[in-house]
A and B are shown apart, each in its own frame.
Chain A
């Protein structure tokens, strides 16, 4: 016990934390890319015609039917054979965000389709373009509905990113295994790794809750009291 807290932790924790920073970078970057992919695919599947629609559906199906670790391995080892050399970090981001994008596209697709078609028609009947209808009418409503689900995927991603340790990215888990191979303190080091993952995920899920609350629009909140805001009451009636 004494050894764990006063020798092993001071000696190895900094190195593990370096890995945790990479884990965070990997997660945040992949999240942003995954959201962009998911949104583009969702809108594409709703709005496009036969060949593209088909292709996008195939992407979603395939990526959801192959284990993430296998996808990562395929991407990592097949990219160089087709002449693309990405740094390991970005190969990891590519793998994670393609996987996440497939799942998020389904989330966005269903929330977009859940918006009453009357909303879209109201926009179109005032002369808005389809793009403007998406931007001003559909997406602001659909994305707010998607926030809790997307938040859940974020926390999962934080943990699933540990799989990229298999493709030699020095994130938290891989740094742990490196320490273990030098010290053979398997149990203690994995325990430290577990504690760090817990701390990260716990913080992340609290943050997601907070964002969820902050983003819940006034019109969906309970006990909301309408009041004239200064911007309109300044203008004489």
Chain B
């Protein structure tokens, strides 16, 4: 495991004249669980979305699974062709804060959609796989429900099953529990933990500090478009080096 699964160098992103990411470096190894924390507006979502190209980075390198997605080259910024980007996306699906389940499709149809239409898998195989995954997240009996008939926590578990159905190399979570009622949060965190236990590579943006502390291999603290501190959770939470981080931890714990 010498080559990292994901390598990001000097990634920058601007929206017009507003520079939101000011040079991010980050490496993720296979099986690693990465947590991104930090104050709201610091650029965590934008960063996660730059990884799978929902936002196009302005400059910097993203190398995923040996594939150059974008790179600074000879004074310009190379971007991989659309088709390669799509291929890579299938290997690193995203789980969103607001679930974003396809509203016109049942739980099962949500899960089989991309395997059939993107990966060209056989329908009955995809269904079998999907039902197994829905079973794993505890929703086997809700397969034929539409999103409108599911609770927030159930929707998010369907979204996780939908990501897993891609048999991805990496899953991106952008605040997966922030839109949930407090009593539903634990269930989702439990589901994410079980993925980590199975060796799935995860990048998780969250405000659940207790969870980050227990599960993370590495925590990155985002503030103002930069990673101010990185390290194992104990180091980050118990011995913050910057004032910003200690202030952030204090504000969260209050």
Kindly identify, within residues 203 to 237 of chain A, every residue whose CB is under 8 Å from any CB belonging to chain B. 217-220, 224, 226-229, 231-232, 235, 237
Least Cβ–Cβ distance between A220 and chain B, in angstroms:
8
Question: What are 19 A-B residue pairs whose CB atoms fall within 8 Å in the complex?
Answer: A123-B102, A125-B54, A126-B113, A126-B118, A126-B163, A127-B86, A127-B119, A128-B114, A141-B104, A144-B104, A218-B146, A219-B103, A224-B149, A226-B142, A226-B144, A228-B144, A232-B108, A235-B127, A237-B140
Contacts of B124 in A (CB 8 A): 235
- Do A118 and B98 touch across chains, with their CB atoms under 8 A apart? yes
Supposing A126-B113, A237-B140 touch, asked if A232 and B98 sit within 8 A by C-beta, the answer is no
Contacts of B147 in A (CB 8 A): 219
- Do A219 and B104 touch across chains, with their CB atoms under 8 A apart? yes
The 7 A-B residue pairs with the shortest CB-CB distance in the complex, in nearest-first order: A127-B90, A219-B146, A126-B114, A122-B100, A118-B100, A127-B89, A125-B94
A contact patch SS = helix
Question: How many A-B contacts if CB must be within 8 Å?
Answer: 91
Residues of A within 8 A of B (CB): 116, 118-119, 121-129, 132, 136-137, 140-141, 144, 217-220, 224, 226-229, 231-232, 235, 237
What is the bound-complex CA distance between A102 and B166, given in angstroms? 41
Kindly state whether residue B35 has any CB partner on chain A within 8 Å: no
What is the bound-complex CA distance between A228 and B107, given in angstroms? 12
Contacts of A128 in B (CB 8 A): 86, 114, 117-118
- Do B144 and A127 touch across chains, with their CB atoms under 8 A apart? no
Kindly state whether residue B52 has any CB partner on chain A within 8 Å: yes
- Do A124 and B100 touch across chains, with their CB atoms under 8 A apart? no
- Do A119 and B103 touch across chains, with their CB atoms under 8 A apart? yes
- What is the interface size of chain B, counting residues whose CB is below 8 A from a CB of the partner? 41
Residues of B within 8 A of A (CB): 52, 54, 82, 86-90, 93-94, 96, 98, 100-104, 108, 113-114, 117-119, 124, 127-128, 131, 135, 140-149, 162-163, 166
Least Cβ–Cβ distance between B135 and chain A, in angstroms:
6
Least Cβ–Cβ distance between B12 and chain A, in angstroms:
22
Supposing A119-B102, A132-B117, A219-B104 touch, asked if A124 and B87 sit within 8 A by C-beta, the answer is no
Contacts of A127 in B (CB 8 A): 86-90, 114, 118-119, 166
